[in-house]
């Protein structure tokens, strides 16, 4: 099963649409509700990161009976220091984003907690790819 | 009593077939995509219906009705208790004291009245306690609106643990009623009718199919719209009669009364990390956010399916914007009654008992989204569904009887509909067939004299195909 959704950077109105669709698909195939929840939360955080930091991204969902994989591939500034970015509370979100209640620096740590495997590759000035794997029990 | 045989779930919202024109207004409005039009009539998919009343509101032909109890049912009991929902007080003109309404209920056939606003005062206090206790779960969701509880069961099964397991004011009022009746009379409880005077179909269903409580302590629900004309009549024409009985009633305070409108519940609970959301479509948006983990800094969500809260229920009579104002005024006027409520003997006993307000049964999920019990099959159906969606026009017109193209695709993979139910697909198919028929018509046999004009072709062994003559018939 393979699905692709587009996410537009800066579009706060549509933020959350991709993760809602992912959530509904997993509910429809009958994934365990705890799994649905973890994927939905992680996917939403990743989607928010795109909306806050990047220009554009594709979110792909691949799932079979054993596992769910979410890949978020964006075109954007890239992450300067991935280890730093993974630190809870560290954020490079601009002030206007924080005023909206986002950018608390918990996105990446949250995604890591929710998924059973997470990999980030990033190239400065080009973009970032986050790959998350979940057990679909 | 109202339950139809072989029905899996109880529903108060029903269809009057002869009035239904099969328009698509209700299927488009339904928050759980629970309605389909088949054979020119709307059909409710029981498992998905949450009895919110949206379809009752939108139906231009009044084909959707709420089946509830009537005052005639009172005859089946020796003693009858009315539990008026706070929304009832806003229905009457300004300046009518809630005690007068309670007295009017007594004069139209009830033997005892327990104000649900009174129970709401106590429930508000208990909710405050419950959300102040340390807990991993944030935010809690109010269990007061049964349509919202059902929405969570059907569409957000992940959030069931967020529903605060504290009784709704209606349930608490019923328990108070039982205690008071036992104290006042020596009647067997089975001879006592306990009737909720309801603003909405959701409560009617919740009474017949309780969530969170095992024992049903309420006999039925009577619409506010049914008692309203009788009460108004009494208040307008027999004020002296009411004055005599008025002293007997114990109304709730302004805080309890406030539960009738959106925001009132939060006000009654007190505190600041709460939000109030009304209107089922807005409730869905908020619950989506809760699922994303976005609202973990909020303690409590007061969520009501009707716009404006209970005063916006489909079983009320007055415009909800007007009743909201009246409820607000009444709430301000009766704000000082809270002490009296909390000093009541039965209230004190209930508040001291740890378990009195607790749900005694877990709320079960009712997920309806799954395409198949076997995940591999479900995944295959999902893929198939996606292909169908790509092929459909995406206009979400509803002509096929499903609320949108995606829902039609889902119905197709579930074996409940056909791709050709789509009017555009059907027309496209008809056009294709017409083209094919034209082509076939052109290919009439040469013996009939209509031969296509073709250049003479010589094949490899020197045979000539039939030479097309210039058509002289034209």
pLDDT value at residue B323 = 94
The whole-angstrom separation of Cα B141 and Cα B75 is 38
Strand (E) or helix (H) holding B375: helix B375-391
Mean pLDDT for back-to-back runs of 10 residues, chain B (474 residues)? 54 90 93 94 92 94 92 94 96 90 93 95 93 91 96 93 94 92 90 96 90 87 96 90 78 93 94 94 94 89 96 94 93 87 86 86 90 94 95 94 96 94 94 93 74 58 57 48
Whether B375 sits inside 8 A of A28 (CB atoms) is no
Structure confidence at residue A102 (pLDDT): 73
What is the DSSP track for B328-348? HHHHHHTGGGHHHHHH-HHHH
Counting Cα atoms < 13 Å in the Cβ hemisphere of B363 gives 30
Judged by CB atoms closer than 8 Å, whether chains meet at B291 and A25 is answered as no
pLDDT at B4 (0 to 100): 44
Q: Is B110 exposed, middle or buried (0-12, 13-18, 19+ CB in 10 A)?
A: buried
Q: Which residue has the tokens 């990743």?
A: A46
If we measure between CA atoms, which residue out of B128, B61, B469 comes closest to residue B302? B128
Contacts of A65 in chain B (CB under 8 A): 375-376, 379
CB atoms B382 and A37 under 8 Å: no
How are beta strands B79-84 and B112-113 bridged, if at all?
parallel
pLDDT value of position B462: 63
Q: Give chain A's mean pLDDT.
A: 89
A113: number of CA atoms within 13 Å, CB side? Answer: 11
Residue showing tokens 């195909």? B465
ipTM of the complex: 0.87
pTM equals 0.88
The residue among A28, A68, A98, A104 with the most chain B CBs within 10 A of its CB, best to mutate, is: A28
pLDDT tens digits for range A8-67: 998 888 888 999 999 999 999 999 988 999 999 999 999 999 999 999 999 999 999 999
Contact predicate B466/B457, CB 8 Å: no
Q: Give B369→chain A minimum CA distance, Å.
A: 5
Q: Are A42 and A132 in contact (CB under 8 A)?
A: yes
Contact A30 B386 (CB under 8 A): no
Closest to B101 in 3D by CA, of B228, B240, B254, B261: B228
Buried b vs exposed e over B380-414: b needs ≥16 C-beta within 10 Å?
A: bbbeebbebbeebeeeeebebbbbbbbbbbbbbbe
Burial of B342 (0-12, 13-18, 19+ CB in 10 A): middle
The whole-angstrom separation of Cα B155 and Cα A27 is 10
pLDDT at B386: 94
What is the SS3 assignment for A68? strand
pLDDT score of A86? 84
Q: What is the C-alpha separation between B409 and B417, in angstroms, rounded?
A: 8
Say whether A37 and B158 touch across the interface (CB within 8 A).
yes
> Environment class of residue B108 by beta-carbon count within 10 Å: exposed (0-12), middle (13-18) or buried (19+)?
middle
Of B116, B332, B95, nearest in space to B224 by CA: B116
Strand partners, A61: A3, A70
The residue among A55, A54, A51, A58 whose CA lies nearest residue A2 is: A58
Buried b (16+ CB within 10 A) or exposed e, A37-61: bbbbbbbbbbbbbbbbbbebbbbbb
In the beta sheet, which residues pair with residue B43?
Answer: B36
Are B379 and A19 within 8 A, CB to CB? no
pLDDT at residue B1 in the model: 37
Shortest Cα–Cα distance, B114 to chain A (Å): 40
Length of chain B: 474
């Amino acid at each position: 099963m393979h699905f692709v959704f587009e996410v537009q950077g800066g579009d706060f109105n549509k933020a959350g649409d991709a993760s809602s669709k992912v959530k509904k698909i997993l509910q429809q195939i009958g994934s365990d509700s705890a799994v649905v929840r973890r994927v939905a939360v992680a996917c939403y955080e990743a989607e928010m990161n795109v909306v806050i930091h990047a220009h554009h991204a594709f979110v792909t969902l691949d799932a079979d009976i054993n596992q769910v994989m979410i890949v978020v591939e964006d075109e954007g500034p890239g992450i300067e220091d991935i280890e730093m970015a993974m630190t809870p509370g560290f954020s490079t979100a601009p002030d206007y984003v924080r005023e909206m209640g986002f950018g608390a620096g918990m996105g990446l740590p949250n995604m890591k907690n929710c998924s059973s495997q997470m990999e980030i590759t990033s190239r400065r000035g080009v973009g970032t790819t986050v790959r998350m794997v979940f057990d679909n029990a | 009593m109202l339950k139809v045989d072989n029905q899996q779930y109880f529903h108060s919202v029903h269809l009057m077939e002869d009035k239904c024109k099969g328009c698509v207004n209700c299927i488009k409005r339904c928050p759980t995509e629970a309605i389909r039009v088949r054979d020119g009539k709307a059909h409710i998919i029981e498992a998905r219906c949450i009895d919110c009343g949206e379809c009752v509101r939108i139906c231009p032909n009044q084909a959707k009705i709420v089946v509830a109890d009537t005052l005639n049912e009172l005859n089946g009991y020796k003693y009858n208790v009315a539990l008026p929902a706070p929304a009832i007080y806003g229905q009457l003109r300004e300046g009518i004291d809630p005690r007068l309404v309670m007295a009017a209920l007594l004069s139209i056939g009830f033997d005892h009245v327990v104000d649900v606003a009174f129970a709401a005062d106590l429930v508000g206090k208990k909710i405050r306690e419950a959300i102040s206790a340390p807990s991993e779960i944030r935010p809690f969701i109010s269990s007061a609106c049964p349509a919202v509880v059902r929405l969570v069961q059907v569409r957000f099964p992940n959030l069931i643990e967020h529903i605060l397991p504290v009784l709704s004011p209606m349930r608490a009022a019923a328990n108070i009623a039982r205690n008071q009746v036992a104290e006042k009379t020596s009647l067997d409880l089975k001879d006592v009718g306990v009737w909720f005077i309801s603003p909405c179909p959701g409560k009617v269903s919740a009474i017949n199919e309780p969530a969170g409580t095992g024992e049903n302590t309420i006999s039925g629900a009577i619409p506010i719209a049914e008692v309203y004309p009788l009460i108004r009549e009494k208040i307008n024409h027999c004020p002296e009669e009411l004055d005599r009985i008025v002293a007997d009633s114990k109304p709730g305070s302004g805080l309890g009364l406030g539960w009738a409108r959106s925001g009132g519940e939060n006000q009654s609970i007190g505190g600041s990390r709460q939000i109030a959301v009304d209107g089922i479509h807005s409730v869905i948006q908020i619950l989506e956010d809760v699922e994303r983990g976005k609202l973990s800094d909020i303690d409590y969500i007061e969520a009501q399916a009707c716009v404006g809260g209970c005063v916006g229920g489909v079983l009320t009579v007055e415009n909800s914007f007007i009743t909201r104002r009246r409820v607000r005024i009444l709430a301000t006027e009766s704000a000082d009654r809270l002490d009296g409520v909390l000093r009541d003997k039965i209230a004190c006993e209930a508040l001291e008992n740890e378990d009195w307000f607790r749900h005694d049964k877990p709320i079960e999920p009712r997920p309806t989204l799954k395409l198949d019990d076997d995940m591999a099959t479900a995944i295959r159906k999902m893929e198939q569904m996606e292909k169908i969606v790509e092929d459909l026009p995406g206009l979400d017109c509803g002509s096929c009887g499903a609320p949108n193209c995606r829902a039609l695709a889902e119905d197709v993979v579930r074996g409940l509909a056909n791709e050709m139910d789509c009017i555009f697909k059907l027309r496209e198919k008809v056009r294709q067939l017409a083209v094919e028929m034209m082509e076939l018509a052109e290919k009439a046999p040469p013996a009939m004299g209509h031969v296509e004009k073709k250049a003479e072709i010589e094949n490899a062994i020197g045979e000539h195909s039939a030479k097309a003559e210039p058509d002289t018939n034209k």
